[in-house]
Amino acid sequence: MKKQNYLLGIFLCLVSTIFWGAQFPVMGAALKMIDPFYFTLLRYGLVAILFTIILFFVEGKKAFHTEGNGLKLWLLGTSAFAGFSFLVFYGQQIAGNSAQSLPQ
Other CB atoms within 10 Å distance of the CB of residue 89: 22
Angle at 89 between CA 85 and CA 91, to 5 degrees: 115
- Identify the pLDDT of residue 74: 82
| DSSP letters spanning 20-87 | HHHHHHHHHHHTTTS-HHHHHHHHHHHHHHHHHHHHHHHH-GGGG--TT-HHHHHHHHHIIIIIHHHH
- Identify the pLDDT of residue 30: 79
Domain parsing of the chain, residue ranges: 26-97
pLDDT in tens, the chain (104 residues): 677 888 888 888 888 778 777 777 777 777 788 888 888 788 888 888 999 999 999 999 988 888 888 888 888 877 877 777 777 778 777 777 554 554 55
- Contacts of residue 30, defined as CB under 8 A and 6 or more positions apart, other chains included, come to 39
